[in-house]
Structure 1
């Protein structure tokens, strides 16, 4: 039997950022992953402290941005790369009313550090009312992040490329197949619905599509453009555009209506021709109160769940990984707004 401090089941942002906490603290672990392209791996990687529909921010936005930058610097020390892309979001305004609302919100205490008061006119796209820059916004190199960390895991035998078999787990004895463990953590996204230990947690799947397109005329600015969806360059002639939100059509296939929505959305502000080269989709694990679900199993004291990261998987996964680590290792209580217990106490 091989003895480890942690078994992690899942391979999205929750899993990888928690694994980083274990690396920092010299804990032994294995990650079980089938290396399928889940919601995290097909995500846009947008790092954004502002809700760009209403020009508002969210709980702990500044703390999450700061902690993410610190964490990516730490990860760089052992992968050799920093996966943060300095490509700020520019939100195209629909009309003068949005401009005025932006300026009003930019003066508020909670948004003064995020909304730039100087408007920008973007080249190559329709933006008659200019655009507003979101300060401290950026992107994660999603493919580089997952590739780099998985390579690191594999070299150090932290990675198990197998499906996790729940029936082989004996939580009373802390054993799974040929492993003994101190703690086991499930970070499965919507896959948690098939987990017999946590299948009842209040995670709702939200299906998101994005398209990869070739633009006839490339954009000169290396930024992230936002109108209905996000547009940014992937390489010299390929661009990412997405993503959609859908809680109704949850079948495991591409929705033509979502592709049509994206095509029409891009045509609203990019007037040249483009070709769709690829369509991807994933299922975000969302929660009604828009807070992650983190906590200990009611019966098995060394079994935990880390889920419900929603559309902010990077920020939520990074920031709250430390909260969970401190909870497990140092017995520091979880904030009631993210704790699994909040559903049991209502």
Structure 2
């Protein structure tokens, strides 16, 4: 594995594991399968790193009004949502939630920092990690050689870095810039849940809380956008009107696809080159599931689902 050490969108993400679209109270393709596979994968990873990075902190969606409560209850009768939308509403301490909140069953978080630190430590100790930038011009596809490395297959998992990849730069991924902030709150909020209204709020430590993130397809420079930070501050103030202090702000660029499904597949000319991209805002949840799909395609010749195959853009 080659990595130059830059922090990806996944590494600065909230790590939310969520089977529900919380604006419309709907679910999405293979949500249950993705959650099940992720939890099994984390148990397997624990055998290598000694830790399970799953945080049992279910999402509590704060309702805007009584109409949202009624819509939630109506949707909770749907066969696709019955196992996700809890019918019992809760009042949350420490935040403004006049119309209560609904719990998303099976939702959780990933300890993002711990996960990547533990996984990279394991890979480096086994000699599987090369900490350097990958130089495309030194790749000999015909002889399957990169510098001093011989390979059978090569897989590119680069997020928005794929735009600089001469072999896969034409895949239709679009950057979506997301901001999040770290804040100090003047009084604590529940530690064992993830709160959601406009954005997600949860504790990082005894003092710091995560709040985010935004979605921006227009302002795509690598700088902190102060209007986005202000947007987050206002959103947090709606549910937390007490004193707060913003201590840090971060950005990441999600690789998104128009049909909101990943892009997996083999290069049309170089049969030993593969791509795994377009995981969007759900990369923490869907990455493991579709990684197995691509593995089965490469190693077992199992056809990729048409919905995620690179071939769907031909």
Query: Could you tell me the TM-score, scaled by structure 1's length?
Result: 0.90
1:311 maps to 2:287 = no
Looking at structure 2, the residues matched to 46 and 312 of structure 1 have their Cα atoms a distance apart, in angstroms, of: 8
**Hey, what's the Cα distance between the residues in 1 that align with 2:155 and 2:48?**
23
In structure 2, distance between residues paired with 1:325 and 1:140:
23
1:15-36 CA-to-partner distances (Å, cap 9, x unmatched) read xxxxxxxxxxxxxxxx111111
Pairwise mapping of residues 198-277 of structure 1 onto structure 2 (< 5 A)? 198-277=168-247
- Segments of 4+ moved more than 2 angstroms: none
Could you say which residue in structure 2 is the equivalent of 1:16? none
State the distance in 2 between where 1:125 and 1:234 align: 17
Partner of 2:90: 120
Matched, 1:150 2:120: yes
Contact 2:191–2:203 (CA under 8 A) maintained in structure 1: no
Cα distance between partner residues in 1 of 2:137 and 2:191: 52
Deviations 1:245-303 (A, max 9, x none): 00000001001111011000000010111111110000000000001000000001010
Structure 2 partner of 1:72: 42
Q: Does 1:85 align with 2:64?
A: no
In 1, the alpha carbon distance for the partners of 2:169 and 2:36 equals 33
The equivalent position to 2:251 in structure 1, one of 274, 278, 281, is: 281
- What is the alpha-carbon distance in structure 1 between the residues aligned to residue 190 and residue 152 of structure 2? 52
From 169, 192, 199, the counterpart of 2:162: 192
1:330 aligns with 2:300: yes
Q: Which moved more, 1:271-280 or 1:115-124?
A: 271-280
Q: Does the Cα contact within 8 Å between 2:191 and 2:202 map onto a contact in 1?
A: no
Deviation readout 1:91-128 (Å, 9 max, x if unpaired) = 00000000000000001101000000000000011000
Q: 1:341 aligns with which of 284, 307, 311?
A: 311
Matched residues in 2 for 1:179 and 1:71: separation?
28
Matched ranges for 1:29-48 at <5 A:
31-48=1-18
Q: Given the alignment, which residue of 45, 49, 69 partners 2:19?
A: 49
Aligned position for 1:19: none
* Deviates further, 219-228 or 105-114: 219-228
Q: 1:228-257: per-residue Cα shift (whole Å, max 9, x none)?
A: 000000011110000000000000100111
Distance 2:192 2:119 in 1: 26
CA contact (8 A) 2:255 2:279 kept: yes
Counterparts of 2:241 and 2:254 in 1: how far apart (Å)? Answer: 31
- Return 96-105 or 308-317, whichever deviates more: 308-317
Correspondence list, 1:163-182, <5 A? 163-182=133-152
How far, CA to CA, are the matches of 1:210 and 1:128 in structure 2? Answer: 25
Distance in 1, matches of 2:287 and 2:86, equals: 27
Distance in 2 (alpha carbons) for counterparts of 1:256 and 1:219:
26
Inter-partner Cα distance in structure 1 for 2:310 and 2:6 = 27
Give 1:221 shift. 4.0
Residues 1:102 and 2:72 are matched in the alignment: yes
Q: CA deviation at 1:222?
A: 2.0
Counterpart CA distance in 2 for 1:326 and 1:279 is 39
| Structure 2: stretches of 5+ with no match in the other structure | none
- What is the CA–CA distance in structure 2 between the aligned matches of 1:75 and 1:134, rounded to whole Å? 25
Give secondary structure in 2 for the equivalent of 1:214.
strand
Give TM-score scaled by structure 2 length: 0.99
Q: Does the aligned pair in 2 maintain the 1:123–1:221 contact within 8 Å?
A: no
CA distance in 2 between counterparts of 1:321 and 1:90 reads 29
Deviations 1:182-215 (A, max 9, x none): 0000000010000000000000000000000010
User: Unmatched 5+ residue regions in structure 1?
Assistant: 1-30
| Secondary structure, counterpart of 1:118 in structure 2 | strand
